[in-house]
Every structure is written in structure tokens, then in C-alpha cells.
Amino acid sequence: MPQRVLIVGASVGGATAAITLRGMGIETVLLEKELHKPKPCGGAVPPAAFREFDIPTSLIDRKVTICRLVSPSGQEASVPVAGTNPTEHDYVAMVRREVFDGFLRERAQQRGAELIHGQLNGLEVGASGVRATYRSMSDGREQTIHADVVIGADGAYSPTARLLGLPPLPRAIAIQERIALPPEAMREWQDTATIFLGRELSPDLYSWAFPKHDHLAIGIGTGPAHSKQAKQLLENLKQRLAPKLAGGRLLLREAYALPMQPQKYLAFDRAMLVGDAAGLVTHTSGEGIYWAMKSGQLAAQVLSQYLDAPTAANLRNYDRLWWQQYGTMYTFLRGLQKWGYGNERQMEVFTEMCRNPDVQRLTFDSYMHKTMAPAPWAVQMKMTWDILRSQVRNYVRPRTPLREQ
Ligand SMILES: Cc1cc2nc3c(=O)[nH]c(=O)nc-3n(C[C@H](O)[C@H](O)[C@H](O)COP(=O)(O)OP(=O)(O)OC[C@H]3O[C@@H](n4cnc5c(N)ncnc54)[C@H](O)[C@@H]3O)c2cc1C
């Protein structure tokens, strides 16, 4: 019998893993419980994703060329989206997940992956293989599937991780509303992604307004300590934006969790985790789409080398390669989140820091192209000096009225 891989979850991470495995001729089954409802998401994707995964840019609703950051006191930093060497391809892509995920899923099927509409509810990993049970969404019956290896690409609540006996990860909550605006009201938002900082909107992350094809998506994210306030935080954002949302029509309210920490290991005997199931969302930005795709691809590449001996020791080459390549970036962004969103004074400093042209270039190089080259020493010294001045201004001699004293 040819070897077979079961992937649980056919969203961005699972579909990319399936496309990669099928590219190497490996028999692949995708199990997905939800084929109709879109994944709740802001849908901001870096251009690197389109380039690296050969995705048509026709899937993009809008190309954002300005990022506007609004501090708790209302200071604004309006930042053009441009890296060190600006090109016409410098932008943040805004997609609707129903369109984007649908494309990847269809590509996986076209390449020969089998897609089953079913919900995983049992998993046994033994010496000779994996046995999964699922409820078929078409007739409600319990079915069984056998595979050599399972890849858990089933999101922040990952049933695969739970059935493997792993602890749940700490999770943030994000709520978003899609609001159709009259064309004249939409004009203000169309090429701009706005990030709002402040305790009333998000005590420890941020809230956003992202323009889509026919609507504005506004939302808030907040960590485990404040998740009970999430609905109120979204109401506060809507109140703040009320004049600009006048005449708007609510299309959809959606909410979901984001993992706030990676699993200790990403691979086990006959099992691997990718994307949110592995906890690979980056801090500060809450970005997870690109990372789910990238981890899905890498997991599949490593797995293809060890299908004959899928032991934890072999499959953990995926862990090693991942952290070798991205470990510094994850550590940096986790530190930046603690530093920049720690309290409202820090949020003011963070906003001022984003006015610094060197910070802007570094941020967009790393976001758009996923490269993190250290800045030259002189630039680093200048950035550090500017940040220190901003810290002093906001703590010792506050320049702007702060809500938090
Ligand atoms: C409100 C919100 C806004 C966000 N905004 C952004 C953004 O702008 N940019 C960005 O990069 N990231 C954003 N993220 C994060 C991003 O959505 C995730 O990181 C990304 O979707 C992870 O992809 P994934 O494939 O790992 O998991 P998911 O996209 O969560 O997919 C998991 C899949 O597994 C399926 N599944 C779950 N359980 C089972 C089961 N038992 N059986 C079968 N299938 C199952 C689910 O139906 C789902 O399709 C946001 C998240 C939220 C909640």
C-alpha cells in the first residue's frame, strides 16, 4: 500500500501542506469540518505569500499602501508601506478568507488530494500507523480512516493536539464585524489599514480597520486576561468610529481564538502540527496566515524524507529547521509586544517609534518580504536614541494628555 498522510483542517496551513505533499506524489487526505463558513480573520497577507506560493494576485480585494497607527491619546503615525528598496509591489494584501482559502483548497484537490467533509473526533497513533475517526458532515455517520502520519492543521483549538495529549495553548480572542459602507464613506479607508492602540480598545494587543472589496472589517484582539471584555472592546471601537460608519450595514460578526504561544514540540511519532495548531502566530501583529502556509510547506517537505520512518526524532527536523530560521524573529516580536503594548504610555512610545523612517523600513522589509537583516550600527544607534527620547518624553514630561496616569 502506498503511504498516506491525513491532514486535519483544510484551511491555509492544511491546504498548503496538501499541495506540497501532492507535489511530491504522496497520497494525501484532507479532513475538514467546515466547508462553507469563512474563517474569522482580518485577512491581511504579505506580498511574499503570493510570490512564494504562486498565488494569483487577482485574489486580492485591496492593496493597502498606507498603515495608520493611532495612539491612545489620538497621535497618528501615517506610514507608507515601503521597504528599503521601494517597488510597486510594496503593499499589504487584503483578502477575504472565503476566497483565499477556497482557492488553496481547490488547488490541493486539483493536485490530487482527497477532501472529506467531516469532523475529527478520535485519534489513535500506534506503532504501525494512525487510526482516525470522524463524523461525516453529509450523513452524520461515524467513519474511520487509516494513515501513516497525521498533520494537525486544525487551528487554535486543535483537536489533533488535544487527542495527542498536548496541553491547550494560551489563547487571545479576536472579534470582527464586516460593515458595508456607502462608497463616499469607504473612500477614506480604501488604501489604508488603521491600527488603534489603547486600553479601551485592546489592553494588550490592538484593534483594526481593514478595507475589503465591498466592506470595512473592524475588529479587536485581546489576550487571555481580558477576553471576557472582548465584546465591550469592540463596542468601544464602534463608538469611536461611529461618525465614519454612519450609513453602514452590518454584513457579518465573527470571532475566534488565536494561540499566544507555540507548542513545546511541533512533531511527534507519526504526527506533526502546523499553523495555529502549533501556536505559530507571531506576537505584536497577530499574523498567522503566512506562518500557517510556511509551516505547512516545511512540515510536508520534512515528512516526505521520513515517510518510511516517521519517528519523533526524524520528524523533529521540522522543529529544528523552523526555529533555526524564525526563532529570533518570534522572540523579537514577543518582546516587542510586551514592550510596545504594555501600558498606554508605552503605546504612545510605540506610535512615535513608528514615525521613525528607519523603523518603518525595517518593519516593512520584515513584514512584506520576511527578511530580517540587522540595520547598520549607525542606524541602530539613531533608532535607540530616538526611542529613549520618546520614553523620556512620555514618562517624565508627557507631551500629550494620557488617559492612564
Ligand atoms: C479575528 C481574527 C483576525 C485575524 N487577522 C489576521 C490577519 O489579518 N492576518 C493574518 O495573517 N492572520 C490573522 N489572523 C490569524 C489567522 O486567521 C490564523 O493564524 C490562520 O488562519 C491559521 O491558519 P491555520 O490553517 O493554521 O488554521 P485555521 O485557519 O484556524 O484553520 C483550521 C481548520 O481546521 C478545521 N477544523 C478544526 N477542527 C476540526 C475537526 N475536528 N475536524 C476537521 N476539521 C477541523 C477548521 O474548520 C478550519 O478550517 C486572525 C485571526 C482572527 C481570529
Quick one: pLDDT at residue 397? 62
112 lies in the same domain as 141: yes
150 lies in the same domain as 195: no
User: For residue range 37-61, what is the model confidence (pLDDT) as tens digits?
Assistant: 999 999 999 999 999 999 999 999 9
State the Cα–Cα distance between residues 12 and 289, nearest whole angstrom. Answer: 7
In a domain, 54, yes or no: no
Q: Which amino acid is at 113?
A: A
308 lies in the same domain as 200: no
Smallest CA-to-CA distance from 368 within 295, 285, 298, 300 is with: 285
33 lies in the same domain as 105: yes
250 lies in the same domain as 188: yes
> Which residue CA neighbors atom 52 of ligand 1 most closely?
41
129 lies in the same domain as 270: yes
Sign, Cα dihedral of 341, 346, 348, 354: negative
User: For residue range 179-208, what is the model confidence (pLDDT) as tens digits?
Assistant: 999 999 999 898 999 999 999 999 999 999
* Ligand 1 neighbour 39 (Cβ under 6 A): yes
Write out the three cell numbers for 28.
494525501
In the chain, what percentage of residues exceed pLDDT 90?
73
Identify which of 97, 194, 258, 291 to mutate to test ligand 1's pocket (most ligand atoms within 8 A of the CB): 258
CATH number where 155 lies: 3.50.50.60
φ, ψ for residue 116, nearest 5 deg:
-110, 130
State the Cα–Cα distance between residues 373 and 379, nearest whole angstrom. Answer: 12
User: Is the Cβ–Cβ distance between 319 and 268 less than 8 Å?
Assistant: no
**Where are the alpha helices (H) located in 306-375, listed in sequence order?**
312-315, 317-340, 344-353, 357-369
State the Cα–Cα distance between residues 368 and 362, nearest whole angstrom. Answer: 10
Quick one: pLDDT at residue 1? 66
CA of 381 to the centre of ligand 1 (A): 39
33 lies in the same domain as 148: yes
Three-state DSSP at 111 gives coil
Domains in the chain, number: 3
- Please report the atom of ligand 1 found closest to the CA of residue 256: 53
In a domain, 402, yes or no: no
User: For residue range 297-350, what is the model confidence (pLDDT) as tens digits?
Assistant: 999 999 999 999 999 999 999 999 999 999 988 888 888 888 888 888 889 888
251 lies in the same domain as 182: yes
- Please report the atom of ligand 1 found closest to the CA of residue 156: 30
CA of 39 to the centre of ligand 1 (A): 6
341 lies in the same domain as 205: no
* Domain, as residue range, for 341: 332-395
At residue 382, does pLDDT exceed 90? Answer: no
Residue after which a domain boundary falls, among 259, 277, 312 = 259
**Could you tell me how many residues make up the chain?**
405
User: For residue range 208-265, what is the model confidence (pLDDT) as tens digits?
Assistant: 999 998 899 999 999 999 999 999 999 999 999 999 999 999 999 999 999 999 999 9
CATH number where 196 lies: 3.30.9.10
Element (H, E) at 109: helix 97-110
119 lies in the same domain as 245: no
In a domain, 401, yes or no: no
State the Cα–Cα distance between residues 281 and 290, nearest whole angstrom. Answer: 9
